Chains A and B, each alone.
Chain A
Amino acid sequence: MAVEIAATGSGAPSESQVGAILAKHPAERSALIPILQEVQAKLGYLPEEAMCQVAEALGVPEANVYGVASFYAQFRFAPIGRKQVHVCRGTACHVGGAPKILAEVKERLGIGEGESTPDREYSLETVACIGCCALAPCAVVDGKVEAKLTPKKVRELFQGVQR
């Protein structure tokens, strides 16, 4: 609701942690990226409240903080799941049908790239070549390489996942 937006920093759990990071840096725009990096290192991702807090402290609009952060691949905006899914999008996998695999994974997990399931069990990322092109198309699920994937295999892999 539009009228509620003016409230910032009202007691998010990360408030004091972010505050401690902010205290170490000058309140200047040039400090934005180092601050965001530290926040991510601390919290594992960049929660919205944290971005608002940084924005307010540096006098930078929050949409701009997000704009800058989203430009860099290093930042994530959702927490990492307990099991990380990396779908390969390298050339060999692409040719081998990676787009279909990715679509199926998204469908199964009900999330998009850079997101995690509400129960934080899985998070989804794409990567450029994981170095097993001979097994294309492939993905890494919870540290284990899944080779020569088909949509059917993906379905089996994530069978029983509650969406």
Chain B
Amino acid sequence: MATISIDGTRVEATENRTVLQAALDAGIYIPHLCHHPDLKPVGMCRLCVVELEGRGIVASCEAAAQDGMKVLTDTPQVQKVRQVALELLLTNHDSNCLACAKNNDCGLQKVAAFIGVDEARFKQLRMLTPQYAIDDSNPFFRRDPNKCVLCGICVRTCAEIQGSAAIDYAFRGFATAISTLGNKPIAESKCQSCGECVVRCPTGALAPKETRKPSKEVLTTCTFCGVGCQLYLGARGGEIVSARGDRESPVNRGHLCVKGRFGYSFINSPERLKTPLIKKDGKFVAATWDEALDLITRKFAEYKGDQFAVMGSSRCTNEDNYVLMKFTRAVMGTNNVDNCARLCHAPTVTGLGASFGAGGGTNTIAEIPGADCLFIIGCNPTHAHPVVGMRIRAAVGNGAKLIVADPRRIELGDNATLSMTQKPGTDVALLMGMARVIYSEGLHNPQFIEERCDGFKEFVKAMEPFTLDFVEETTGVPREQVVEAARLYAKSDRALILWALGITEHSHGTDNVMALANLAMLTGNIGRPSCGAMPLRGQNNVQGACDLGVIPNAFHGYQKIADPAAIEKFEKAWDCKLSTSPGLGMVEQLQQTLTGKIKAYYLVGIDPAYSVSDANQVWEALRQAEFVVAQDIFLSGTAEFADVVLPATSFAEKDGTFTNLERRLQRIRKVIEPPGEAKADWWITCEIARRMGGKGFDYNDPSEILDEMGRLSSWFTGINFERLDAGGIQWPCPSTDHPGTPILHTERFATANGKGQLAPLVYRPPVDSADAEYPIILTTGRSLYHFHLAMTSKVPGLMALHPEELVWMHPKDARRLGIADGDKVKVSSEQGEVDVRAKVTKDMRPGTAYMTFHFYETPTNVLTHQKSLDPVSKTPEYKVTAIRIERV
């Protein structure tokens, strides 16, 4: 604490504040342009000058506030310096304020208004014709150098916050400008269109192309990934026209990625479903709700029991999902209910469940910058979870060691202390090898193991085969790197592991997850701040869909179907008879359709026809099913197979909660009315249930559903809409005076005996391996610019940034096959084939190829297989498919 005087007024400055910050904190305005609270000061614009007693004129943004300082902000000398600085800026500025996107919200207007402009001089100085061409190349924002004041905020934002460093100062003297490499249009640079620079630019030099200002803004949760960024959606005339990050949120602190900030236009798409559709003679015909619901009620009644299957949605709310699982169990009398976590993070839930007793990430996003070591494996956060990616870069900026392990070279490799590229599907070998090094070098934590873990003896024995020879041979990672990774991780006090589908989407995904849990337990990196194990969950509410019991083996809060007490509890609460026969996961549901066992489907907000592996087989199953209902916001690829399609509402048109990857329940709020006759998913399911005689489906609004969830699972007891208005809450939250649980397993694990379970793993190779016919291993992943298929494909700007599927391959493979960058190629596997263009890049390791899965025209999943599912979680091995690539 320092006490300073500003123009004679006493001001208390907190720790490490500059004079400018202290003044602004105290509500005293000092003009400034290049200062931004999120960025390091640079003292560039000279507008913030003040006079310090004894020191003369200084830039207040750079001067630390020191006890006893006397600051004068408006002396003649100060005025003179700022006047000159301002006039220099105005000389070069295209001051067409009324037509500028930043009018009324502009840093330059603000300083000019405060300092004052001499009209005669201004007229003389003013630049009349713009000098530079406008860069219109980015689909979402525009760069107008004629309005740039060279404050460098965009440059620093891109480097310090976003971590892309796509732009910098270039040229010199009067020609100085902000430029990309080679002064090319921004769309051809490394820019990732996050818009962080656009929101910080003080002038109209960087401005969104959508210039309509919202007439109202509503705080809600982003729908595009499991990070769960908080944002204000702006609406005007019944359309969504803007999105801005909530700076108060501990999750994203105002940051957003390109999808969250600019991807909202799918909500306004004319292609949204507006009425129910019934298929007649192979064609969809618009129907009324009564017609559609009557038909569904009649048909569903014919398929009660285990011939019926439900797929829920990790894009829908917790309330939607709770009602859906209740309907499946209480009304349809089956446990065949699942969600697309089966295709992604189910192994995380089963693996962490076995190791720690709870399937959720152990720590919070806000703790990431506090870690001193981050181990990132099988994930690509800067693209798939961009705002977490920013936090990881912040941790590195704070001095954290970063270990990256991925079969593909990912962007964060540039920031890494150590980067390893293992062969796909060899993670258990890598991780057990690291464990063996840790143990043999005595870097483990015997006290933690002794006090808090079971199974150490067996584990030590299980590590034996994982010698460095074996690990190097199996994974392709040089032994020195394995040793270094083990040391970096084990020697850190707060080491945090982050992973995603590169770990889970394997025939041994659960083993992979347990191998990570092993490392955390072995080194005692659990139950404390900034360490632990955090799965980066993909879809916005995949955590919630699982937590809410949209899985075959448990009610919400993972209360097991196999537990008679749970059955009794729910039979009583729901006033019905419940089936105890174990349900099927969604891949098995589809497989069992081909054997005739499953006959009818209720598919809610899910697109299995393009997201389940071996798409040809899935299409066959959906064709064979006798009755299929699809409920979604677009006519998805899956909906084409349906007999009845029901129009649902998007996240901007309903109330409810999503649970993000750190177990935090957060509100989504209705901003606009849904298009046509679209209805909220929970409403539709309740309506079907009621028409079928189901009891307990008479909710007035989703808050009543959340209350019921809380009554039946202590995880949610303390959570309600009213509390959530003050901010998200992390489960478990057993009572309304409980603050929620940011860190899991602080004193005991959630297992039956409270001990963490070390898993004695063996290495099992992936099912597919390269052979003469299919010599390349394909792995899949997500693009920064897309969220699966139907939604982002309706956003023209995102389609412009990533318009088509590409198969990435190493130059060596390309050369051998006579393929050049951009060539059309045929990719085939035992399952099927697809034609795409090739992208030749050293980011791949030789022998490995990569594709995303975002395009209906080129469905990647015709290639992937279901040959062997993870035995525990029943997840397919998306990440390892043997393929062939040929020129066409």
Enumerate chain A interface residues (CB-CB to B < 8 A): 1-11, 48, 51-52, 59, 61-67, 70-71, 77
Contact = CB atoms under 8 A, between A and B. Distances in A.
A71 B170 contact: yes
Given A3-B785, A62-B190, A67 B169 contact: yes
Contacts of A11: 811, 840
Interface of B is mostly: loop
B857 interface: no
Contacts of A67: 168-170, 179
Given A2-B801, A63-B190, A8 B842 contact: yes
A75 to B, nearest CB: 11
Contacts of A3: 783-785, 801-802, 806
Contacts of B366: none
A1 B802 contact: yes
Interface of A is mostly: helix
A162 B418 CA distance: 53
Nearest to B810: A10
A52 to B, nearest CB: 7
B170 A2 contact: no
B412 to A, nearest CB: 12
B417 to A, nearest CB: 12
Nearest to B187: A2
A71 B169 CA distance: 9
Contact of B179 (A48, A59, A70): A70
A6 B411 contact: yes
Contacts of B58: none
B840 A77 contact: no
A48 B840 contact: no
A32 to B, nearest CB: 13
Contacts of B188: 5
A67 B180 CA distance: 8
A65 B169 CA distance: 10
Contacts of A63: 165-168, 170, 179-181, 189-190
A3 B784 CA distance: 8
Contact of B182 (A7, A10, A66): A66
Contacts of A71: 170-172
B193 A77 contact: no
A51 B184 CA distance: 14
B193 A2 contact: yes
B168 A66 contact: yes
A10 B841 CA distance: 6
Given A2-B187, A9-B842, A10-B841, A64 B168 contact: yes
A70 B171 contact: yes
A66 B802 contact: no
Nearest to B173: A71
A61 B165 contact: yes
Nearest to B411: A6
Nearest to A4: B839
A4 to B, nearest CB: 6
Nearest to A73: B172
B843 interface: yes
Contacts of A65: 181
Nearest to B182: A48
12 contacts: A2-B187, A3-B785, A6-B843, A7-B821, A7-B841, A11-B811, A61-B190, A62-B190, A63-B170, A65-B181, A66-B170, A71-B172
Contacts of B841: 6-7, 10
B100 interface: no
Interface string B137-172: 000000000000000000000010000011111111
B92 interface: no
Closest 4 A/B residue pairs (Cβ): A61-B165, A7-B841, A67-B168, A63-B168
B165 A1 contact: no
Nearest to B786: A3
B819 to A, nearest CB: 12
Given A3-B784, A7-B840, A10-B840, 7 more contacts: A8-B842, A11-B811, A51-B182, A63-B168, A63-B189, A70-B170, A70-B172
Contacts of B187: 1-2
Contacts of A52: 181
B414 interface: yes
B181 A51 contact: yes
Contacts of B189: 5, 63
A70 B179 CA distance: 10
B238 interface: no
A66 B191 contact: no
Interface in B529-587: none
A2 B191 contact: yes
Given A61-B168, A66-B170, A67-B169, A2 B192 contact: yes
A86 B839 CA distance: 41
Interface string B780-799: 00011100000000000000
B81 to A, nearest CB: 26
